Amino acid sequence: MASRYIQDGDNVDLSEERRKAKFCVDSLSELLHGVEHLKRRRAIAKFVEETPELHDVLPTTFMSREQKVENASRKMASRYIQDGDNVDLSEERRKAKFCVDSLSELLHGVEHLKRRRAIAKFVEETPELHDVLPTTFMSREQKVENASRKIIALLKHLPSLNISNFEDIFYYQSLVMHLDGHPLSLHSTNLRKLETTAIYDINNEQFIINSPTITSTKWWPGNLGKMSNYAIVVAQLYLNGECYGPHQFIVQLRDENTHIPLPGITVGDIGPKFGFNTNDNGFLRFNNVRIPRQQMLMGFSKQALFLAMACTIGIRYSCVRRQGEITPGSSEIKVIDYQTQQYRLFPQLARAYAYWFTGNYVRVLYAQVLDELKENKARINTIETFFFWMNKKKSKIPLVILPF
């Protein structure tokens, strides 16, 4: 069956494998992702493809570090060209042959952008939320004092913005505190040997977070030493004595009002570093810190997507890689034609589809349950009101068998 993904100049072996498909690739994509979602993605991809300014001048593999930085900066067109801006930078921004606002609206949505711009304008017009002088010229003590002052001002002005969405609140915080996309502390390296533990207490439906060894101390997370009140903590999950590997948990570190560490939390600054002293890097230890079960990040797992991506990479590579001769003197065969390779890859691909459709089915069931809850809540509220009204009239209420 014809595939829209087969184009002139493609790898011959890969195109051959694509032609073997006995199903419509577009129909499968629409089934997996939805028609509207695909339309939006394809519109974005088409826009990028047809806009030369958004392309690399040459493959980044062959660029020096300076060229990569310059290339990335060139592609980052801004909607703001203001008086007092660097002349050369403004000149480059004017060279954009597309509407930056239209691209932003296409990527993020009109309402989302309106909220973000309103937040940015508020921060810009509120002197309390600004640095007293560039942080480059501050001592470490001044930086900590400046950050503390802005945290107080940030909380003070939050009600004025009338925002409740977590993403908008974080955007507001990042503008003020210069978080640079690192809102929470995340463990990064050597996850396999992570020593922080999260033991599930079945009776109380809580996780008990502990740092059982010196080497289980969280070290170096940004914005942790003095600033963060919350962190996403990666810990080994234990259920009934069995370890289920690393999972993520939302843990409160400090009191929101006093900013004092909570019981069981040992947190502080790691001290001076060779570089990047503007960042508040810290250490963190836990001693029997209990958190509710709901604070485990498990509602939006994307295992099916990750597995599908891994399968795509493995299968594509196996289609273009040739190795070994089945018959002496014949050409080498594709790795994908080896049964042992198929045995390793195809079951994982099948699992990815199974996970995907199972996840979608569960989401549908969840939505149905929510709708039923709303309907039952309306019934209960109506009956409650009716009973109250009847009691006010001092009437005798007959026994009623409810249909739910």
- How does the average pLDDT of the chain come out, rounded? 78
**What pLDDT, in 10s, does the model give residues 352-371?**
888 888 878 877 887 788 77
Residue 73 pLDDT level (bands cut at 50, 70, 90): low
The mean pLDDT of 42-54, rounded to a whole number, is 81
Give yes or no for residue 400 having a pLDDT over 80.
no
The mean pLDDT of 136-152, rounded to a whole number, is 77
> Which two tokens mark 95?
């060279």
Strand 265-269 vs strand 218-219: parallel, antiparallel, or unpaired?
unpaired
The mean pLDDT of 232-246, rounded to a whole number, is 90
Cβ-contact 14, 8 below 8 angstroms: no
**What pLDDT, in 10s, does the model give residues 245-298?**
888 899 999 998 898 999 999 999 887 766 666 677 889 999 999 999 888 876
Residue bearing the bigger pLDDT, 12 or 212: 212
Lowest mean pLDDT among 44-53, 93-102, 341-350: 93-102
Give yes or no for residue 5 having a pLDDT over 60.
yes
Residue type, 286: F
> Which two tokens mark 65?
């570090």
Residue bearing the bigger pLDDT, 87 or 155: 155
d(CA 292, CA 273): 36
The pTM score is 0.36
**What pLDDT, in 10s, does the model give residues 377-394?**
777 777 777 666 666 565
CA-derived radius of gyration, the chain: 28
Query: According to the model, what pLDDT value does residue 401 have?
Result: 43
**What pLDDT, in 10s, does the model give residues 311-333?**
888 888 888 888 887 777 778 88
Residue bearing the bigger pLDDT, 139 or 365: 365
Query: According to the model, what pLDDT value does residue 3 have?
Result: 67
> Which two tokens mark 275?
């570089």
Query: According to the model, what pLDDT value does residue 291 have?
Result: 94
Measured in residues, the chain has a length of: 404
Q: Spell out the domains of the chain, with CATH numbers in brackets.
A: 1-25 (no CATH), 109-177 (1.10.540.10), 191-295 (2.40.110.10), 303-382 (1.20.140.10)
Cβ-contact 163, 111 below 8 angstroms: no
| Long-range interactions of 61-64: CB distance < 8 A, separation 24+ | none
